[in-house]
Amino acid sequence: MIIDIKSAKIPERQAWLKHAVAPRPIAFASTIDKEGNVNLSPFSFFNLFSTNPPIVIFSPSIKARDKSFKHTLLNVMEVPEVVISICDYDMVQQMSLSSCEFPKGVDEFIKSGFTKESSTLIKPPMVKEAKVKLECKVNEIKSLGEEGGAGQLIIAEILYMHVDESILNDEKAMIDPLKFHQVARMGGDWYAVVNEKNLFKVTKPSTEIAIGLDALPESIRSSSILTGNNLGQLANVHDIPLVNPSFEHERLKNIVQYFSVNPAEMEKELHIYAKELLDKENVNDAWQVLLAGENI
Ligand SMILES: Cc1cc2nc3c(=O)[nH]c(=O)nc-3n(C[C@H](O)[C@H](O)[C@H](O)COP(=O)(O)O)c2cc1C
């Protein structure tokens, strides 16, 4: 299916894009106007864009209904400071409530029941309940258009970061992904949450240049059993490994003996075995199993 995004109506365009470009982290932004009225609103058009300087960007859109600016944008135009609290599962319902279109000047801290905590360097208060808060100064506002739906990028430099000790690892040296349950926005009413059921690791490409999929032997590359993920794991080596003569696995021996008269079946069985090893992150043994097939 092809969607001609430019000619789709705005709500339809928005729905397709928000479902597709997901999950998006949620910036819970506290701002203040020059009279001192506080505002708190969530924004999922948000991410980290630079570490030196440390820059996050979030984007309140122009309202489709009347082309007006969101209060958060009006506030940072008056006082170019923002605290971005990272939304986690414990906060999600109250955070959602705060996104109601309360009239300007209404304090969403009060409406959504969050507690104000003074920031260290800037005027807007932090959300006490949030486990990560970023005190930022707004460096620039970049408008992407004047029509309804046009993003207004708020480019913010992080000055101070507050991290709750409850989400630190045992050494208290870094945030523990198993302890911090960030939520993210999908399309429609859907959200995602980080927890141990959906966290996994991917070994970084080796610091030495990897061989790449194109350098895998043809029989491996065209396997009907090994998946794209499996090929990605196998291709993440600096050189194709050498056969290790001391590598002896009962199952490998059996496959080689049993299927000695049927090379196609042997290859299939070896690929099934290698796939099981790769799915357990055992890349070295998987290579040895596959090499047994290559050398026969
Ligand atoms: C999880 C979540 C994410 C949101 N992300 C955005 C966004 O990225 N941009 C936007 O314009 N509105 C977004 N909204 C809607 C705003 O939060 C909503 O319009 C809010 O009333 C704006 O408040 P303000 O006018 O006080 O700034 C989001 C709402 C929710 C619940």
Q: Which of 126, 161, 193 is the last residue of a domain?
A: 193
User: Predicted confidence band at 296 (pLDDT cuts at 50, 70, 90)?
Assistant: low
Q: Are residues 186 and 232 in the same domain?
A: no
Q: How far apart are CA 184 and CA 193, in angstroms?
A: 6
Cβ burial of 111 (10 Å; 0-12, 13-18, 19+) is middle
Q: Are residues 188 and 219 in the same domain?
A: no
- In a domain? residue 49: yes
- In a domain? residue 199: no
| % the chain with pLDDT above 90 | 93
User: What's the angle, vertex CA 58, arms to CA 56 and CA 62, rounded to 5?
Assistant: 160
Q: Are residues 145 and 173 in the same domain?
A: yes
Looking at residue 159, its pLDDT comes to 98
Coil, strand, or helix at residue 9? coil
| Cβ 72 under 6 angstroms from ligand 1 | yes
Q: Are residues 123 and 240 in the same domain?
A: no
From 99, 107, 111, the mutation candidate for ligand 1 (largest count of ligand atoms within 8 A of CB) is 99
- In a domain? residue 201: no
Q: Are residues 46 and 169 in the same domain?
A: yes
| % the chain with pLDDT above 70 | 99
Q: What is the mean pLDDT of residues 212-226?
A: 97
- How remote is the CA of residue 200 from the centroid of ligand 1, in Å? 30
Q: What total number of domains does the chain contain? A: 2
From 44, 112, 191, the mutation candidate for ligand 1 (largest count of ligand atoms within 8 A of CB) is 44
Q: Are residues 44 and 100 in the same domain?
A: yes
Domain span at residue 31? 5-193
- How remote is the CA of residue 98 from the centroid of ligand 1, in Å? 9
Q: What is the mean pLDDT of residues 29-50?
A: 97
Is pTM, for the whole model, over 0.85?
yes
Q: Give nearest CA residue, ligand 1 atom 10.
A: 60
- In a domain? residue 207: no
Q: Are residues 227 and 91 in the same domain?
A: no
Q: Which of 144, 165, 193 is the last residue of a domain?
A: 193
DSSP assignments along 157-188, one per residue: EEEEEEE-GGGB-TTSSSB-TTT--BEEE-ST
| Cβ 152 under 6 angstroms from ligand 1 | no
| Residue 174 amino acid letter | M
CATH label of the domain that carries residue 189: 2.30.110.10
| Cβ 271 under 6 angstroms from ligand 1 | no
- In a domain? residue 204: no
136-180: pLDDT as tens digits: 999 999 999 999 999 999 999 999 999 999 999 999 999 999 999
Q: Give nearest CA residue, ligand 1 atom 28.
A: 43
Q: Are residues 237 and 121 in the same domain?
A: no
Q: Are residues 51 and 140 in the same domain?
A: yes
Q: Are residues 172 and 141 in the same domain?
A: yes
